[in-house]
């Protein structure tokens, strides 16, 4: 049944969800339990010490810090992490406009030990939004494209609701029902969802494309408090005027 999932069970995978409380951003740490090679997704400047401490305790070898897109609500810790961890590479979409060691596009793989994440381009919230999918399709890191019972806004940063609708339907809703959906944010204390649940219960994305465009046009959200400092900083891995 689509909405009766359990947690992911990929063999030999370490997985940890972490939350930054000011921007309500989820950071994800994944590692191969045998080789200790690790990837971090959407790390936040405010929680860099917590995250580095955990990586150190676990003895992980962090290979890649990847951002699902150029965030407007918080500054990434990617650049600062690179200063402390030799060999760490930054990664972001080639359509983000941001600089990074690795510029990702559709189908690219981010390997860590015997595991890998595969890139699906899911633009619409921004031009450079990526969804990262585990090799066994047990988990998808959807950034701000698909949120739990919601989705990212489309009223700035190249936002386009038609594009977002098509991205979610073509690139995320085509994953298996039981695939866990791990977004970049949640503001209601929900930690995870599944593709099956969102396909059935997402109040926006279950609508027709025209209704969706209409809903997104009428959200009337305030401008994110940090956008004017976060976006320029995130275009250079968080190291703008640091």
Residues within the interface to a copy of itself (CB under 8 A): 1, 3-21, 31, 33, 36, 47, 50, 57-59, 188-192, 197, 200-201
Q: Which is nearer to Fe ion, 115 or 171 (CB)?
A: 171
Q: Which is nearer to a copy of itself, 12 or 232 (CB)?
A: 12
Structure tokens at 230: 């976060």
Q: Which is nearer to a copy of itself, 174 or 187 (CB)?
A: 187
Of 128, 148, 143, 139, the C-alpha closest to 204 is: 148
Q: Which is nearer to a copy of itself, 47 or 96 (CB)?
A: 47
Residue 188 interacts with, from a copy of itself, Fe ion, none (CB under 5-8 Å by kind)? a copy of itself
Residue 144 is a binding residue for Fe ion (CB under 5 A): yes
Structure tokens at 215: 């809903």
Q: Which residue has the tokens 């899911």?
A: 122
Q: Which is nearer to a copy of itself, 17 or 174 (CB)?
A: 17
Structure tokens at 86: 């030799």
Of 62, 68, 8, the C-alpha closest to 44 is: 68
Residue 144 interacts with, from a copy of itself, Fe ion, none (CB under 5-8 Å by kind)? Fe ion
* Minimum CB–partner distance for residue 6 and a copy of itself (Å): 5
CA 217 to chain centroid: 24
Positions in 16-45 near Fe ion (CB under 5 A): none
* Minimum CB–partner distance for residue 71 and Fe ion (Å): 5
Residue 108 interacts with, from a copy of itself, Fe ion, none (CB under 5-8 Å by kind)? none
On whether the CB atoms of residues 107 and 191 are closer than 8 A, the answer is no
Q: Exposed, middle or buried by CB within 10 Å (0-12, 13-18, 19+), for 2?
A: middle
Residues recorded for the chain = 242
């Amino acid at each position: 049944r689509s909405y009766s999932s359990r947690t992911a069970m990929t063999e030999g995978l370490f997985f940890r969800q972490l939350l930054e409380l000011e921007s309500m951003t989820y950071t994800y740490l994944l590692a191969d339990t045998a080789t200790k090679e690790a990837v971090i997704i959407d790390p936040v400047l405010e929680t860099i010490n917590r995250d580095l401490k955990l990586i150190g305790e676990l003895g992980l070898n962090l290979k890649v810090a990847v951002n699902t897109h150029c965030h407007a609500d918080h500054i990434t810790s990617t650049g600062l992490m690179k200063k402390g961890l030799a060999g760490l590479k930054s990664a972001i979409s080639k359509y983000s406009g941001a600089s990074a060691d690795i510029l990702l596009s559709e189908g690219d793989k981010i390997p860590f030990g015997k595991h890998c994440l595969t890139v699906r381009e899911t633009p619409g919230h921004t031009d450079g939004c990526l969804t990262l999918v585990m090799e066994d399709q047990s988990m998808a890191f959807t950034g701000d494209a698909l949120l739990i019972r919601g989705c990212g806004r489309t009223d700035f940063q190249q936002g386009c609701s038609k594009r977002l609708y098509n991205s979610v339907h073509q690139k995320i809703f085509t994953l298996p029902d039981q695939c866990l959906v791990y977004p970049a944010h949640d503001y209601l204390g929900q930690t995870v969802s599944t593709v099956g649940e969102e396909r059935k219960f997402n109040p926006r994305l279950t609508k027709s494309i025209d209704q969706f465009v209409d809903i997104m046009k009428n959200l009337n959200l305030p401008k994110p408090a940090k956008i004017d400092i976060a976006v320029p900083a995130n275009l250079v891995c968080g190291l703008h005027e640091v």
